[in-house]
Amino acid sequence: MTMNFSLADELLEATRLTKAGHLSEATAALQRMLGTGLPVTRRAGPGRHAASNVFGVMDSPEMTQPRLAPPDKQTLGDGVEHPGFRIKNELINPAVAGSLRGFIDQMRHRGLAGGLGQRASTTIPVDLPDGAKFLACIFRNQAGSRPYKLYVPSGYHGQPVPLIVMLHGCTQSPDDFAAGTRMNMAAEEHTCLVAYPEQTSSANTHKCWKWFSAADQRRDAGEPSLIAGITREVMRNYAVDPRCVYIAGLSAGGAAAAIMGDAYPDLYAAIAVHSGLACGAARDLPSAFAAMKGNGGTVPRNGSKPRVVPAIVFHGDKDTTVNPSNADAVVKQSGQGALLTRRVEKGQVAGGLGYSRILHADASGATVVEQWIIHGAGHAWSGGSAAGSYTLPQGPDATTEMVRFFLEHPLP
């Protein structure tokens, strides 16, 4: 069930985020409210659900389909309808719209509007382990620029270490994604670097990676070139073991991770796709909606790919945002038609959800594709922390299993 919230509720939420120091999230929340008349996505926590965003690729246990603003509406620079606009079923007058817009402009001018095309002022988490760093960086190439965060564990002293690249879902930020997945904690335990590329609202209104765009599915072009560029920049600046570079993502980020594994099999040793779609499942916006409903087109296979890229795939069998059949497509694409044997294991999280773990092994008996079906789960990061958005703490720990799978699969 999707809950409705009033404008006053949304303003209070934005105020709470601002007071908590989550300035980019507060700004993004207000900008979404002003943007297109879509239902506003709220932080999903215990007993709370979120509404849908544009493209329907929002990351929450239960989602509704998007309600696009009428095409004949005149909009201002940030997509505010003029002279009045609607948030859910509430007509907002121009004075309120102007006040909210002024707040956003003030934040932008103060350099606090992360995701508005400027770098946010980032506060280092107070619980950062002694000697660890969570750095704010930016990468530029011919395709544009993207900010990213980089976690450097306290155990890193210049020795070769693995690198994990994490691609967030729609409306999320690197800080939010790090908190929800707890990947930094896992990286601290295993001494890995973690890079969090950030999709900006200037590139996509709701900060979705453009997995559905044909121009953003190719090697060395568009967003893949930016993500690969961030990966290579970290490898240049730090002692990264080139055999141990991995990429993972949630929802739109999961679909982007599948694209990166297909386009850069020489760069990424293995991929992790959580609640995502296979590379090429859609080529434009209409086909994206079809793919999310389980009616994706023929998934192409990179015939020049020199090897099967190991993949670990997570998906809830009650996901109403991205149909669970998309996980099967990711598994099929990852296997590249290889003759793999299949073994199924069943499990149950203590006090939580059950799951099926499907292992696809090659002739040597090594598992190259691992699929987790979380029973009763919707569209959220399995086993994540409520400190971040769109997580399902009752599920198996996707972060722990991903890191385990990654470290078992270095480049040959």
Q: Are 400 and 376 in contact (CB under 8 A)?
A: no
pLDDT digits (tens, 9 = 90+) for 116-143: 222 333 343 447 999 999 999 999 999 9
- pLDDT beyond 90 at 215: yes
Sign of the CA dihedral running 207, 328, 263, 408: positive
Could you tell me the residue ranges of all domains in the chain? 7-109, 133-407
d(C-alpha 299, C-alpha 305), whole Å: 15
Q: Are 343 and 366 in contact (CB under 8 A)?
A: no
pLDDT digits (tens, 9 = 90+) for 238-255: 999 999 999 999 999 999
pLDDT digits (tens, 9 = 90+) for 37-49: 333 333 433 333 3
Q: Does domain 133-407 have CATH number 3.30.1330.20?
A: no
Share of the chain above pLDDT 70, in %: 67
Instruction: Give residue 300's pLDDT.
Output: 58
Q: Are 356 and 345 in contact (CB under 8 A)?
A: yes
Lowest mean pLDDT among 98-112, 182-196, 214-228: 98-112
- pLDDT beyond 90 at 11: no
Instruction: Give residue 193's pLDDT.
Output: 98
- pLDDT beyond 80 at 367: yes
How far is the CA of 314 from the CAs of 53, 140, 293, 329, 400, in angstroms?
22, 31, 17, 12, 12
- pTM of this structure: 0.72
Q: Which residues, in sequence order, are CB contacts of 258 under 8 Å at separation 6+?
A: 211, 271, 273, 276, 277, 278, 279, 311, 330, 333
Q: Which residues, in sequence order, are CB contacts of 278 under 8 Å at separation 6+?
A: 255, 258, 296, 299, 326, 329, 330, 332, 333
